[in-house]
């Protein structure tokens, strides 16, 4: 997440200090779990207690988080590299590389942390990892998300303290589904049918019905509008790029 957006998340000095120590212990726990180990009841209880501390220190509402995430999406769409590869008729890529593997640190991707160094060398399905990307994950992305991801925050919403251990057992869960990852774009037909203008009209209509008690709903609509702005920005970048390539080809 870009630093200018992260300024909106202001944990206290105490929370930052505790989180730094917690992350060091968390990395050890992940390595232990990678070898087939499980978290102890004491570790699970401590993790739940710390999640309550982090949630109180940041004290962001659901709507505020939605606005923050929408801003991060727009930032990404404004900065992701754009390129057309040979034979492509549909442009765009989910990765800055030609072929990339998703990590989803905001869901369950931190389980990959102990494996990062071995990804290029493992015998089954090796994956190249650029040194700069590896460093960004280790120093910036994972430390930010380890106590904010879906996988981290689940203890606040369930009485099942053992869920973290059970989620790694393929007999019970597939971690990606537990973490909220799916191959679904909600109401994608509406995007094709109505376009950005139509979705903006929906937002305007919904906003006209808001009252003073609808602050969270208003933030959701703000987030939806920011996300649409990001989509328009992304399309505008592609149009400029394609126009430039067409003009150069004509010459």
Question: Across the chain, what does the average pLDDT equal?
Answer: 85
Q: What confidence category does residue 31 fall into, taking pLDDT thresholds of 50, 70 and 90?
A: confident
Rounded to 5°, the CA angle 95-97-101 comes to 55
pLDDT band for 70, please (50, 70, 90 cuts): very high
Structure tokens at 87: 């034979």
What does the alpha-carbon distance between residue 75 and residue 80 come to, in Å, rounded to a whole number?
A: 9
pTM score, whole prediction = 0.79
Residue 150 has pLDDT above 60, yes or no: yes
CA distance 249 to 241: 12
Could you tell me if 30 and 110 are in contact, meaning their C-beta atoms sit under 8 angstroms apart?
yes
Say if CB 73 and CB 229 are below 8 A apart: no
The secondary structure of 54-95 as a DSSP string is: HHHHH---HHHHHHHHHHHHHHHHHHS-----TT-SS---SS
Res 11 pLDDT > 90? no
166-215 per-position pLDDT tens digit:
776 655 555 555 555 556 667 888 888 999 999 999 999 999 999 888 99
pLDDT single digits (tens) 106-139: 887 888 888 888 888 888 888 888 889 889 999 9
Name which residue leads in pLDDT, 185 or 41: 41
Please measure the distance between the N-terminal and C-terminal CA atoms of the chain and give it in whole angstroms: 40
């Amino acid at each position: 997440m870009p630093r200018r957006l992260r300024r909106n998340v202001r944990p206290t000095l105490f929370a930052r200090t505790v989180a730094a120590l917690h992350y060091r212990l968390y990395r050890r726990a992940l390595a232990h779990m990678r070898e087939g180990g499980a978290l102890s009841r004491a570790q699970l209880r401590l993790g739940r207690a710390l999640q309550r501390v982090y949630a109180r220190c940041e004290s962001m509402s659901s709507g505020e988080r939605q606005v923050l995430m929408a801003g991060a999406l727009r930032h990404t769409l404004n900065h992701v590299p754009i390129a057309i590869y040979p034979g492509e008729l549909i442009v765009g890529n989910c990765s800055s590389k030609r072929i990339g593997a998703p990590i989803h640190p905001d869901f369950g991707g931190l389980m990959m942390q102990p494996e990062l160094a071995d990804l290029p060398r493992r015998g089954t399905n090796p994956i190249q990892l650029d040194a700069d990307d590896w460093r960004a994950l280790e120093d910036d992305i994972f430390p930010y998300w380890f106590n904010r991801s879906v996988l981290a925050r689940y203890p606040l919403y369930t009485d099942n303290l053992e869920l973290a251990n059970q989620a790694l057992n393929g007999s019970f869960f597939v971690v990606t589904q537990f973490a909220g990852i799916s191959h679904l774009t909600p109401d994608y037909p509406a995007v094709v049918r109505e376009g950005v203008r139509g979705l903006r009209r929906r937002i305007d209509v919904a906003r006209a019905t808001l009252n003073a008690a609808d602050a969270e709903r208003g933030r959701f609509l703000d987030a939806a509008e920011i996300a649409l702005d990001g989509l328009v920005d992304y399309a505008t970048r592609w149009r400029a790029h394609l126009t430039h390539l067409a003009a150069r080809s004509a010459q």
